[in-house]
Amino acid sequence: MKRPYFLLIVFLALWLLNCSGAPERNLASEACLIRKGVSTKQEVYQLLGPPDKVVRQPPNIEEWYYYHVNEDTLSKLPLLGKKLGEEEVEILRIRFTGDRASDCIYLVRRQKE
């Protein structure tokens, strides 16, 4: 196979791997919707859906966690993806005191697979 065609095929394969029909979740934008001292559990549930994890702590404190994993294009390659690719995990923690959001923290952890 001639080199220009090979490069074109590789480029198209990488582009197709990176395109998916489903919209990506953006926890950073969603974190901006939470208003400390104002947003209620019901409002957060309507905005973000059910949390991925719930931690209850006495007295009257509850933490909701939302996670989203983003993989780069290289990690989607067959065979070499695990060695070359990286992923980042977005974490959104919302702490409720009673029924109101008292704290909202967004962070990203990058890690080599």
CATH number of 25-112: 3.30.1450
Q: What confidence tens digit (pLDDT) does each residue in 13-27 have? A: 665 555 555 556 788
| Distances in whole angstroms, Cα of residue 33 to Cα of each of 5, 26, 44, 92 | 47, 12, 9, 12
Q: What confidence tens digit (pLDDT) does each residue in 32-72 have? A: 889 999 999 999 999 999 999 999 998 899 999 999 987 77
Take residue 57 and report the two structure tokens written for it.
Answer: 């702590």
- State if pTM tops 0.85: no
Torsion, Cα of 29, 23, 100, 94 (10° steps)? -70
d(CA 69, CA 110): 10
Q: What confidence tens digit (pLDDT) does each residue in 68-107 have? A: 987 776 666 666 666 666 778 899 999 999 999 999 999 9
